[in-house]
Amino acid sequence: MTIFEQYAALLRADTPVALATVIEGPGVGAKLLVQPDVDAAGTLGHPELDRVVTRDALAELEAARSGVRSYGPEGQITPEDLLDQPTVRIFIESHAPPPQMWIFGAVDFTAALARVAKVLGYRVTVCDAREVFATRRRFPMADEVKVTWPGPVFEEIGAELGPRDAVCILTHDPKFDVPAVLGALATRVGYIGVMGSRRTHARRMERLAEVGVTDPADIERLMSPVGLDIGARTPEETAVSICAEIIATHTGRTVPSLRDSTGDIHA
């Protein structure tokens, strides 16, 4: 099968795939077809360039983003390595539904988190049971604002959540937090963050234990308190710490999360 035939088959099947094409520089027209967990097909002209572009294409695919990137002919990416080298410009075309972020709780932090998540390419939905707070006017950056309890949301969309998606529970209110955590744990969602002070967190874990959340594998999935331990103070800084934690969860990097430390959450 040619690259195009493989690409066409994957597109028809709605399988996530990225096609990298050299659009300028040596080897114009060369192609590399990239899929998660499958060896790339084709070549851009150098094994190291193929390796670097595969890595970048998978990240672009995860964010469902298409665009142009520049490299050296042997995959160089730092400016010093690119001196006196022809630039290879590569168009990465991604085909993937955007990852979803579901934010429970229409609080101050919600708007900042929705904004940062949009920058990263998420389709963002804000949910709160309180009609006065869950309004389009307060969250114009969200793709959708729903007045609802968590239970019905997970009944409706639980099955479609996957490893690329995120659930962030920002309510601080056990009435809402507990059903949201239970709903999220029943899905395959890749990230579950739950906001709160260390005291709120301790009380919430007691409540969750009372309703049967005792399996260490479940507890391991909860990023609570939510975010990296970077001393975030404002809603915006907190949003960055949450989104950075999501990235680290996907890449498998070890970074200091708040749930693994004991000190003050805010600097």
Partner 1 sequence: MKELLDDIGRWRSAGERIAVARVVDIEGSGPREPGAAMAVTESGEVAGSVSGGCVEGAVVGQALTILAGEAQAGITTFGYSDDEAFAVGLTCGGTIHLFIEELDW
Q: Which amino acid is present at 224?
A: S
Q: Which of 65, 60, 72 is nearest to 22 (CA)?
A: 72
Report the residue from 31, 46, 146, 259 that binds partner 1 according to the rule CB under 8 A: 31
Footprint (CB under 8 A) of partner 1, residues 92-151: 93-95
- Report if residue 253 touches partner 1, rule: CB under 8 A: no
* Residue (13 or 132) nearer to partner 1, CB: 13
Give 86 or 152: the residue with its C-beta nearer to partner 1: 86
Q: How far is it, in rounded angstroms, from Cα 135 to Cα 102? A: 15
Site for partner 1 in 39-78 (CB under 8 A): 66-68
Which CB sits closer to partner 1, 28 or 77? 28
With beta carbons less than 8 A apart as the criterion, state whether 74 and 96 touch.
no
Q: Rounded distance, CA 82 to CA 95, Å?
A: 29
* Shortest reach from residue 42's CB to partner 1, in Å: 8
| DSSP per-residue string spanning 181-208 | HHHHHTS--SEEEE---HHHHHHHHHHH
According to CB under 8 A, which residues from 156 to 185 bind partner 1? none
Nearer to partner 1, 28 or 119 (CB): 28
Number of residues counted as binding partner 1 (CB under 8 A): 20
d(CA 12, CA 255): 39
Provide, rounded to whole angstroms, the least separation between the CB of residue 35 and partner 1: 15
Q: Which of 70, 75, 107 is nearest to 90 (CA)?
A: 70
Q: How far apart are CA 126 and CA 140, in angstroms?
A: 10
Q: Which is nearer to partner 1, 70 or 214 (CB)?
A: 70
Shortest separation between residue 89's beta carbon and partner 1, angstroms: 8
List residues near partner 1 by CB under 8 A. 2-4, 7-8, 11-12, 21, 23-24, 28-29, 31, 66-68, 91, 93-95
